Structure 1
Amino acid sequence: MSNYVFVIDQDKQPLNPVPPGLGRKMQTDQKAATFKKYPYTLILNHSVVAPRLKGLTLKLDPGSKFLGLSILDGNKVIWAAELEHRGWGIHEGLEKRSGYRRNRRSRKTGYRKNRGQFEFKPDGWLPPSLLHRVQTTMTWVNRLRKLAPIEFVKMELVKFDTQLMDNADIEGTQYQQGTLAGYTAREYLLEKWGRQCAYCSKSGVPLQVEHVHPKSKGGSNSIRNLCLACEKCNTRKGSKSVEEFLKNKPEALKRIQATLKPPLKDAAAVNATRWALYHALQDTGLPVSTATGARTKMNRAKQGLPKEHWIDAACVGDGGENLDIKTAQPLRIQAKGHGSRQMCKVYGTKKNGEPIRGLPYPTAPGMPKRRKDGTREAPKFRLHGSVESGDIIDVQIPNGKYKGIYKGVRVAVRGDGRIAIRPKGFSSKFDLTTASIYKVVQRKDGYAYSVQ
C-alpha cells in the first residue's frame, strides 16, 4: 500500500488526498498531471470552487536524528514519512572550521580573536545543529500545508530525565545534588577508575585527565567522556578512537566500555529543541496539541505495531489508539543541504602546519584551474540550460548503449556542460547523448528521497 496522492487545483488550492489508483485514473483521463514527484502531487487542469475539504491532522514524532510524520483522516493513516536530520553533520562541519581557525591563530596570521563564551547570545538561542532540526521540521510542516487541507497538528512533547537515564536507582538527596556533589572532577575520576590508568592499568604514576572519545571526533567535555591515563598512553592515543587504540587489547576495551555509560547527546538534543518547535508550530496559527511519549508507546503496544518513527507519529495522543493504516510505504527523506559555502576548501596541511588550500586535482573537469601567476579561473556553475545538478528528470535515450526510458533520476551536470545520470541498478554514472529528450519533474531542494 502506497501513500495517498496529494491533489491541488489549477489555482494551487490544496484538495483532499486520493488513493494511488484514483490518482492514476485521473491522469489516464487527462484530468490531472504530475505537479511534484516527492511527495507525489497531482495538479488538476481546472479550478475547484468551494471544495468539500476534510479536516486532516498532521502528527509529529520529533527525535534527535529522525522525524516521524503522519497525516490522518480521522483514524486513517493516509500518508507517512520519515525525515533524517543532518544535525550531527552540521556539528562536525563547525568543529572542523573551528580547528582551521584555531590553527591560523596559533600561527599568528592576523586572524580575528576568538569571541568564545563572551559572545552575546539572545534568549532562546540554539546552536546551528539544533536549530536545523526545528527549521527542517517547520519546512515540511509548511510544505504539507500547501498540499493538503491540514487543520490540526499534534506532536509528542517529551522530556528525558538524564539523571535517571544515567542511573535508574538514583533518588533523594543524590538525585537533587547530582553525581559530583562533594567531589571535584579529578577526585571523582580517581575514584571511578580505581586510581590507575584506564588503558594499561598502571598505578602509582602521575595520571592525566583524558577524553575517551576524542574532541576532534565529536567527543564532549562531559564527565562521562573523561578518564585517567598515564602520560605514555595519553600521548600514544592522541586523537585515535578508543576502539582503534585498543584494537589489540580486547579485554581492556571491553572493561572501558563497561565502565563508560552511553552518551546522552540524543536526549539532550530533544530536550533543547522541544519548546522551540512547539512555539514555532503555534506561530502557524493552527491548533497545536501535545502528548507524552508514554501515551505514544501505550497506543503502539496495544495495537501490536512495530517500532517505526512514522508509526510513533501516528500513535501520538488522542486518536492513536485505534488506527486504520492505509499505507505501508512511507516516504524516506534525507536532509542533504545545498552544498558548501566555502569559497576555498582546505585539503590538508603542510609540514609546517600551514593549510593546503585550493583543489585536490587542479585539472579535474569543471574545477577552476590554477594559472601560472598563482591565480585561479572563475569557477564554472554546474548548470546546463534549464537543468542544474541535483534536479530530478525523466529522460528518454533513443539510441546507443544506454538506450531506454529512465524516470525519476537525479542529474549531475559536469563542468564542461555534459549531463550525467545514474539510474537505479547502475554502478556508475553515464552521460546523456545529444539526442536525449528529458523533462524536469522536480528541482533540487536539499533533500534526497526514496520509498521503502
Structure 2
Amino acid sequence: MVEYSFVVDLSGNRLSPCNKNKAYYLIRKNKAKMLNKFPMVIQLQKIINDDDNDDVKNYLGIDDGSKNVGLGIIQQCNTKIKTIFKGTIELRQDVSTKMTVRKGYRKYHRYHKRYREKRFDNRRASKRKNRLAPSILQKKQSILRVVSKLLKWTKIDAVYLEDVLIDIRAMIEGKELYKWQYQKSNRLDNNIRLAVFMRDNFECVDCSSKIKLQMHHAKPKNSGGADSIYNGVTLCEKCHIKTFGKELQMMDKYLTKIKGKNLCLRHPMHVMQGKKYLQGELGKIAPLSLTTGADTANHRIDWNIEKSHSNDALVICGTKIKSTDINIKDWHIKPLRKKSKGDVETIVDGFKLRDYVKYTKRNGVCYIGYITALYPDRKQFNMTTKDNIILKRYGLKSLNLISRPNSIRFS
C-alpha cells in the first residue's frame, strides 16, 4: 500500500507530494526535515522555483454525510493521474445531548442561586436569520477544519462536492410521485396526531378502546423514528403505559398492524441542512462543482471501484481512475474538541491527554488509541482504541507514544 508525503519548500511553497520512502531518504540526507508525522509532511532545506508545478492540478472530492465524510485528493498532470490522499472524517454525534445537559445546568443555576422571574425569547443568537443548529453547524465546520489543514500542505485547484438531493416524500412513499400527489399531504391533516387517529378509526389498535387515546411512535424518535403517519399508532392510555421502556421490542408488532415503515430520516435531513453554508465556504477556497449521487454510483460501477466513503470522494472528482490507483493509505480523521482554558495540562512520564499511543500487553496483544484519562499518583491511564474498546487503569510502562495531535487526529 502506497503512502505519500506532502512537501513544502523553505519558503512554505506547496509542492507535489512524494513517496513516503523518498521523504525519509531526504530526511536522512539532511535535505529535508519533518514537519508532521501523521500524515507525513516534510520541508525541503531550500527554495524551489517549480515552474512545472503550474501544469499539475489537484482536485478535492468530498462525500458529505451525517456520521462520516469522505475526502479524496486526485493529482492530474499531462502524463498521468494519481491519488495522493484519501480519508474518512468521523463526525461528532453527541452535541445535541451535551447541549441538553448544559441547559439543565443553566436552568438549575438560575432558579436555585436566587429567585429570578422566568424570561422567554431572550436569546438573540437563536433567532437570527439563516441560523444553523449547533449540532448541524459543528459537522460542517469539522469538514472545513480538515480541508483548511490539508490546504496548508498541498494546493487545491478545484473542489467537487456531492450535492444532496434527497426527496423525503419519495422516501416515505417508497415510489416516484406525480406532480399532483405532491400537493396532497401524506399526513391527511397538518396535525399528525389527528391524522393517526382518523386512520385507526379513533380506537386503540390493541384493545379497541375509544377512551383517552394517545399517539405512540412505533419507532421512538430518540432512536431515529420519523415523525410521520407511517410511524404513528393509536393507543389508549393503559396500553401506552405498557410500552414504556419496551418501545423497540414492540416496534415490529405495531408497524405490522398499521402497515407502517421503519424510516430513519434524521441522517439524510442532517446532511440536507447546512449544505448551502458548506457550499459557500468551500467556494471561497477553490472553484466549486456539484455532482449527484447517481453520477458517483455509476462511475464507481463503471470503474470497478469498491464502495467506501473515501473511495466515493475520489470518484466524485469525475476524473477516471482505476482500482489500482486508489491503493493508498485510508486515513481515519477525528477532529478534536477545543480544550477548556481552565484545564491544567497534566504530564505523567511524558504522556498527556489526547496522545495517540500504542499499548502492548504481556501476552503480546497490542492496542492503538488515544489517552482519555491520566492518574499521576499510580501512573495509570485510560484509553479508547480505534475500535472503540475502552481500557481503564492500565500502567504506563508498556505504553509508546505514536503522535501528539493538536486539533485533528489522523490515524
TM-score class, shorter: 0.7 to 0.9
Deviation track 1:358-392 (CA, whole Å, cap 9, x = no partner) reads xxxxxxxxxxxxxxxxxxxxx86534597531134
**Residue of structure 2 equivalent to 1:43:** 43
Deviation track 1:158-215 (CA, whole Å, cap 9, x = no partner) reads 21111111111432322123313556433310244454435x3534333112344556
Alpha-carbon distance, 1:337 to partner: 2.3
**Residue of structure 2 equivalent to 1:390:** 354
Q: What are the residue-to-residue correspondences of 1:436-447 with 2, within 5 Å?
A: 441-445=403-407, 447=408
Aligned match for 1:94, one of 99, 111, 115: 99
Gaps of 5+ in 1: 344-378
**Residue of structure 2 equivalent to 1:268:** 269
Aligned match for 1:129, one of 132, 135, 138: 135
Residue identity in the other structure for 1:391 = D
Matching of residue 291 in structure 1 with residue 291 in structure 2: yes
Question: 1-side partners of 2:223 and 2:108: how far apart?
Answer: 17
Residue identity in the other structure for 2:145 = T
Query: How many pairs were matched up?
Result: 396
Alpha-carbon distance, 1:235 to partner: 2.8
Aligned match for 1:206, one of 202, 212, 234: 212
Question: 1-side partners of 2:406 and 2:236: how far apart?
Answer: 52
Instruction: Please report the TM-score for the alignment, with normalisation by the length of structure 1.
Output: 0.73
Instruction: Give the match's secondary structure for 2:406.
Output: coil
Instruction: Give the match's secondary structure for 2:195.
Output: helix
Alpha-carbon distance, 1:267 to partner: 1.6
Contact preservation (8 Å) 2:225, 2:262: no
Instruction: Give the match's secondary structure for 1:139.
Output: helix
Alpha-carbon distance, 1:410 to partner: 3.9
Question: 1-side partners of 2:168 and 2:246: how far apart?
Answer: 25
Alpha-carbon distance, 1:148 to partner: 1.1
Residue identity in the other structure for 2:71 = L
**Residue of structure 2 equivalent to 1:414:** 375
Question: 2-side partners of 1:261 and 1:170: how far apart?
Answer: 20
Question: 2-side partners of 1:60 and 1:197: how far apart?
Answer: 48
Residue identity in the other structure for 1:252 = K
Deviation track 1:137-171 (CA, whole Å, cap 9, x = no partner) reads 11111111111122221111121111111111432
Q: What are the residue-to-residue correspondences of 1:55-94 with 2, within 5 Å?
A: 55-74=57-76, 75-86=81-92, 88-94=93-99
Question: 2-side partners of 1:104 and 1:306: how far apart?
Answer: 53
Quote the RMSD (CA, aligned, Å): 4.0
Alpha-carbon distance, 1:307 to partner: 1.6
Contact preservation (8 Å) 2:357, 2:400: yes
Question: 1-side partners of 2:212 and 2:382: how far apart?
Answer: 59
Instruction: Call closer, same or farther: CA 1:390–1:145 in 2, change over 3 Å.
Output: same
Instruction: Give the match's secondary structure for 1:15.
Output: strand
Question: 2-side partners of 1:381 and 1:13: how far apart?
Answer: 34
Alpha-carbon distance, 1:322 to partner: 5.8
Instruction: Call closer, same or farther: CA 1:414–1:251 in 2, change over 3 Å.
Output: closer
Question: 2-side partners of 1:2 and 1:338: how far apart?
Answer: 32
Instruction: Give the match's secondary structure for 1:17.
Output: strand
Alpha-carbon distance, 1:6 to partner: 1.5
Gaps of 5+ in 2: none
Q: What are the residue-to-residue correspondences of 1:229-308 with 2, within 5 Å?
A: 229-238=235-244, 240=245, 242-244=247-249, 246=250, 252=253, 255=256, 259-284=260-285, 286-308=286-308
Alpha-carbon distance, 1:230 to partner: 1.2
Alpha-carbon distance, 1:237 to partner: 3.3
Question: 2-side partners of 1:297 and 1:228: how far apart?
Answer: 40
Question: 2-side partners of 1:306 and 1:182: how far apart?
Answer: 44
Identity %: 22
Aligned match for 1:162, one of 168, 173, 179: 168
